[in-house]
Amino acid sequence: MFIAQDHPVTTSSAQLCETCRLIEAREPHQRRLAEWAHLEITTQHPPETAPEHGLVLATHPPTAGVLTGRIELRLDNSPVGTVTITCCPACRTAILDYVHVAAEYRRLGYGRALVAAARVRMPGYTWTAPLPAGGIAQAFRARVPYPRAAPPCVHRTASRDR
């Protein structure tokens, strides 16, 4: 279970932290904003078979001849965040290309959950992440412990030249 350190839950009873319970009690329309604390990041579904209720990870693997895949975070079947990953199985390298969370769902741990979900898809890979443009993206990237992007592997360069 993915649990961010600033939003603790007790895993034995799957209770939300006191802050999350208070927010959801005061504002019922915020009912699922803290559900990420219950998200099992290793459970990732193909988009066409993903559950339509709750917080769900839907994976879009790379298509033939492409090295970039995507993981989408859906809340009640509506996309609220996405992460794109470029990997090279031959070099066992992966690049965290892009992380996006809809503005109304930021600062809730969704971005960190997406990054963690990407990592569990490719264990044992060497990961890098480029330094993004824009203040919000840079602030998020500063909290994600990845080295800056390295030069692309020879396989990625060769596939781009075709």
Task: Determine the pLDDT at residue 47.
Answer: 92
pLDDT above 90 covers a percentage of the chain that reads 19
Whole-angstrom distance, CA of residue 154 vs CA of residue 58: 29
Strands 55-60 and 68-75: antiparallel
Q: Does 16 or 53 have the greater pLDDT score?
A: 53
Task: Determine the pLDDT at residue 34.
Answer: 57
Q: What is the pTM of this model?
A: 0.71
Instruction: Please say whether the beta carbons of 115 and 109 come within 8 A.
Output: no
Cα distances from 88 to residues 7, 8, 27, 34, 122, in angstroms, run 34, 35, 45, 34, 10
pLDDT, tens digit, 9 for 90 and up, residues 69-114: 899 999 889 999 999 998 888 888 888 888 999 998 887 788 888 9
Task: Determine the pLDDT at residue 161.
Answer: 45
Cα distances from 43 to residues 34, 71, 133, in angstroms, run 18, 12, 31
Whole-angstrom distance, CA of residue 70 vs CA of residue 133: 20
